[in-house]
Amino acid sequence: MDFFTACVWAAGIAIGIAAFGCGIGQGMGLNGAVQGIARNPESSGKVTVTLLIGLAMIESLCIYALVVALILIYAHPQAAEIIKTVVAH
């Protein structure tokens, strides 16, 4: 049973820490973008395009963690064998 318990913990912590760091990272990017646009509104289009590329890159980091979390919950390869063993006991 410890195994599923660990999956659950690891999934929660992986997505939690990743969202923490990426949230701060996106906030730093966003801070720069809105200050930049406010200073020079004509650059708005170019800044927004670059901002979106960057935010998407950071988002991808968090999605890696989300994918790992979902694999741990739904699709761990040994899960089937282990649950049989547990039930068998």
Residues numbered 19 to 58 that lie near a copy of itself (CB under 8 A) are: 19-44, 46-48, 50-55, 57-58
Nearest approach in angstroms of CB 59 to a copy of itself is 6
For residues 47 and 22, what is the distance between their CA atoms, to the nearest angstrom? Answer: 20
Dist CA 37 CA 42 (whole Å): 8
Per-residue CA distances from 43 to 26, 37, 49, 59, 80 (Å):
20, 6, 10, 24, 55
Question: Minimal distance in Å, beta carbon 75 to a copy of itself?
Answer: 9
Alpha carbons 26 and 56: distance in angstroms, whole number: 9
Q: How far is the CB of 45 from a copy of itself (least distance, A)?
A: 9
How many residues of this chain interact with a copy of itself, rule: CB under 8 A?
Answer: 80
From residue 59 to residue 78, the character string flagging contacts with a copy of itself as x (rule: CB under 8 A) and all else as - is xxxxxxxx-xxxxxxx-xxx
